[in-house]
C-alpha cells in the first residue's frame, strides 16, 4: 500500500472535523516510536509468541519463566516515554477534536501523555492481580520485592516485548524466586492484563460497545485488527453506518470497512493532524512521507 498524501490527510481532518464525537481505538503500532515493538511485522505476521493464558494458569514453571523475563523487561518498559503520536492525541482531545479512547496497549503511555477517557481494553502492566484471592497490587511494589528475592539475577537484556517481558535462554532462570501474594501466600500472581487466549472482561466490552454506538466516527490508529477483541468494534461501527478511519502501516483486517485509509507513520500523521485541527501552533512544512499517492478503501 502506497504511503499517504497531503490530500489523504486533508480528507481525514475533514472527516474528524465534521464529527460530534470521535472514538479512538489504538493498537501496538501506537507505541513503537516509544521503543516498544509490535507483536507483528509490517505484513501482519506474528514475530513473537506471547505467553498463553491457559499455560500461565496451569503451570508454575510458565509463571516463573514469565516473571523472570518480565522482571528484566519491566525496567525498560517502565522508563519508556510517550511519543509524538501520544502527545498529539492528547492535544486533539484537549480541543474537542477527539473523544474517548480505547487502547489495546497495556503500557499506560496515553495517560502519561495526558489523554483522558482512556479505556484499557487489555488491562495495564502497572498492576498485578492474584489469581487465588483476587488481591491487586502495584507492579512497582512487586518489582521491589522481586529485587530483594533475586539480588544476583542480572541476565543480559534482550528485546522488550509488548507485554513487558524479554526473551532469554531458560538456563539463566536457575534460582529465580517468584514473589508470592502478600494476602494469601499464593504463587499465582498475574500481570493485570488480558493474556492471549483470555477473554476481555464483559463489563469492559459492554462499555466499549456503548462508546462505539455513541460515536460519529471511529478512528483506528496503529492496529492491524488481527485480534478480535479490537476488531469487533470496527465491525460494530460498520454495521451501524458509523464511518471508520484507519491509520496504520501495512494491511489491516478492517480495510474493507474503512471510509478513509492512510498508510503512514503515526508520529508524523498525528502531529500534522493536530496542526490542521488547531490543536497546536501551525508549523512550517509537511513531512516528506505525506507527499506520494495513497489508496483509500470502502465508501463514505
pTM of the model: 0.86
E strands in 199-243: 217-221
> What's the Cα-to-Cα distance from 300 to each of 80, 217, 296, rounded to whole Å?
38, 11, 11
Catalytic residue ranges = 122
Q: Tell me the domain boundaries of the chain.
A: 6-290
Residue 40 has pLDDT above 60, yes or no: no
Q: What is the pLDDT of residue 252?
A: 95
Q: CA 279, 283, 288: angle at the middle one, nearest 5?
A: 110
What local confidence, expressed as pLDDT, does residue 293 receive? 31
- Among the residue ranges 104-118, 145-159, 174-188, 241-255, the one predicted with the least confidence is 145-159
User: 3-class secondary structure for 98-149?
Assistant: CCCEEECCCCCHHHHHCCCCEEECCEEEEEEEECCCCCEEEHHHHHHHHHHH
Give me the mean pLDDT over the 285-299 stretch. Answer: 34
Reply yes or no on whether the pLDDT at 299 is more than 70: no
Per-residue model confidence (pLDDT) at position 290: 40
Q: Which CATH entry fits the domain spanning 6-290: 3.40.50.300, 1.10.10.60, 3.40.50.1220, 3.10.450.230?
A: 3.40.50.1220
45, 188 in Cβ contact below 8 A?
no
Q: Look at residue 156 in the predicted model and tell me its pLDDT.
A: 64
**Among the listed residues 263, 220, 218, 261, the one whose alpha carbon sits nearest the alpha carbon of residue 243:** 218
The whole-angstrom separation of Cα 222 and Cα 248 is 5
Q: Which segments within 165-288 are labelled E, that is strand?
A: 189-193, 217-221, 244-247, 260-262
Parallel, antiparallel, or unpaired for β 244-247 and 260-262?
Answer: parallel
10-31 pLDDT, tens digit per residue, is 999 999 999 999 999 999 999 9
Q: Mind listing the pLDDT tens digit for each residue in 202-222?
A: 999 999 999 999 999 999 999
Instruction: Report CA torsion sign: 113, 119, 121, 125.
Output: positive
DSSP state of 289: G
Average pLDDT over residues 221-249: 97
pLDDT mean over 215-244? 97
Amino acid at each position: 500500500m502506497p504511503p499517504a498524501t497531503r490530500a489523504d490527510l486533508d480528507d481525514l481532518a475533514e472527516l474528524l472535523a465534521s464529527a460530534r464525537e470521535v472514538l479512538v481505538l489504538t493498537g501496538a503500532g501506537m507505541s513503537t516510536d516509544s521503543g516498544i515493538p509490535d507483536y507483528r511485522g509490517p505484513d501482519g505476521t506474528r514475530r513473537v509468541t506471547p505467553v498463553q493464558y491457559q499455560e500461565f494458569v496451569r503451570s508454575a514453571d510458565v509463571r516463573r519463566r514469565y516473571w523472570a523475563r518480565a522482571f528484566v523487561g519491566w525496567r525498560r518498559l517502565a522508563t519508556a516515554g510517550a511519543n509524538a503520536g501520544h502527545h498529539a492525541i492528547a492535544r486533539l482531545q484537549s480541543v474537542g477534536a477527539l473523544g474517548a479512547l480505547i487502547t489495546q496497549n497495556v503500557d499506560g503511555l496515553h495517560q502519561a501523555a495526558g489523554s483522558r477517557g482512556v479505556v484499557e481494553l487489555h488491562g495495564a502492566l502497572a498492576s498485578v492481580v492474584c489469581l487465588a484471592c483476587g488481591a491487586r497490587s502495584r507492579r512497582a511494589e512487586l518489582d521491589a520485592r522481586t529485587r530483594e528475592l533475586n539480588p544476583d539475577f542480572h541476565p543480559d537484556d534482550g528485546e522488550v516485548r509488548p507485554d513487558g517481558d524479554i526473551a532469554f535462554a531458560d538456563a539463566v532462570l536457575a534460582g529465580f524466586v517468584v514473589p508470592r501474594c502478600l494476602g494469601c501466600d499464593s504463587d499465582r500472581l498475574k500481570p493485570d492484563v488480558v493474556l492471549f487466549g483470555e477473554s476481555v472482561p464483559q463489563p469492559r466490552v459492554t462499555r466499549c460497545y456503548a462508546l462505539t454506538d455513541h460515536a460519529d466516527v471511529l478512528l483506528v490508529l496503529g492496529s492491524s485488527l488481527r485480534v478480535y477483541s479490537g476488531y469487533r468494534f470496527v465491525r460494530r461501527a460498520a454495521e451501524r453506518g458509523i464511518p471508520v478511519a484507519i491509520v496504520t502501516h501495512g494491511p489491516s483486517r478492517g480495510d474493507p470497512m474503512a471510509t478513509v485509509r492512510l498508510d503512514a507513520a503515526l508520529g508524523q500523521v498525528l502531529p500534522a493532524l493536530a496542526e490542521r485541527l488547531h490543536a497546536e501552533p501551525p508549523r512550517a512544512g509537511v513531512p516528506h512521507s505525506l507527499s506520494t499517492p495513497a489508496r483509500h478503501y470502502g465508501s463514505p
